[in-house]
Amino acid sequence: MGVVIGKLRGLQQISDAAGFFTICAIDHRGSLQRALNPDNPKAVGYQAMVDFKLDLCRAVVPVASAVLLDPVYGAAPAIAAGVLPGSRGLLVSLEKTGYSGGAEARVSELLPDWGVPKIKRMGASAVKLLVYYRPDVGEAARRKLDLIAGVADECLRADIPLLVEPVSYPVGIEVDDRSLFARRKPELVIETARQITELPIDVLKAEFPVDLNFEDDEGRLLELCRQLGAAARTPWVLLSAGIDFVHFRKQVEIACRAGASGFLAGRALWQEAAGMQPPAARRQFFEEVAAPRLQELSELVHRYGCPWMARPDLAPGGYDAVFEGWYRSYGS
């Protein structure tokens, strides 16, 4: 299936001129409240969340191809405050923070009173959906695939790109035996990539397929990332999953050598700032540490990565044809 013109434009907006995704994620809600006030997360009010996100945006937008924000605290304030220039792409998340159904079900839910049409209407470049996913749990996996498929259909109708972020999690005895979950993680992440990219999504925001606490052989890491890339039928980027910057840097290099088109990094860039006071110290950290980290990762991506439009299924001719009078049938 070729990329229709609105999706193509959105992908261009969230990548840089060379075709790489170097995106900062700031759509955290519940996890950010816990980081800002571990003893009483609910005491973190609206303005405190907005201020954190705006301060971070100001620091990273000069070196990011795009920013991922949430609709509750981030997206509209960033636009209204003028900290997100028109030259930078905007992704907006669709899901509620957290999950329902217990730790072993982890049911993702869409944010009430929000949706793809509103994300398109506000002028965003792309939609992001996080789903906790296990390809081996039968009916629960099918329901989650149905959720993704429904969102993908909405994005097709709105002609806006969809990035899907599947996150694996332990079940059963894996909860207490982390080494068992680590051993299973490669097959889970790779099979997840295969199943989810069979749906009409545009970019896979993938986990690194290995827990570095249990495997550090770079040849093995590279081979598993190549298997992940072969399973994915779309361009893919790496998520940071809250790990520290040093380990994420290593993951980004290996993933890009295996064909990734960039990264979508959150806490690996900025998590230390959550505990900093006064706000001026936090802003200094964003400018002097977080932004240079993002720049360093971007340089790695440009050195080793694969531009998203270089994939054979997205090469010139793989897009929907633009022909004389195309506008007459567009959107029908």
Mean pLDDT for 277-285 is: 94
Residue 189, C-beta contacts closer than 8 angstroms, at least 6 positions apart: 168, 206, 207, 208, 209, 228
Residue 146 tokens, joined: 């149905």
Nearest to 69 by CA among 266, 235, 292: 266
Give pLDDT, residue 300: 97
Give pLDDT, residue 257: 97
Residue located via tokens 């170097």? 22
Percent of the chain with pLDDT over 90: 81
Q: What is the CA radius of gyration of the chain?
A: 19
Helix (H, G, I), strand (E, B) or coil at 185: helix
User: Would you call 1 exposed, middle or buried from its count of C-beta atoms within 10 A (0-12, 13-18, 19+)?
Assistant: exposed
pTM of the model: 0.93
Q: Do residues 295 and 65 lie in contact, with contact meaning Cβ atoms separated by under 8 Å?
A: no
Please write the tens of the pLDDT for every residue from 254-274.
999 999 999 999 999 999 999
Round to whole Å and give the CA distance between 128 and 7.
13
Q: What confidence category does residue 296 fall into, taking pLDDT thresholds of 50, 70 and 90?
A: very high
CATH class of 5-328: alpha beta
Nearest to 67 by CA among 25, 16, 97: 25
Segments making up each domain of the chain, as ranges: 5-328
Round to whole Å and give the CA distance between 23 and 28.
14
**Is the sign of the CA dihedral 305, 311, 317, 320 positive or negative?**
negative
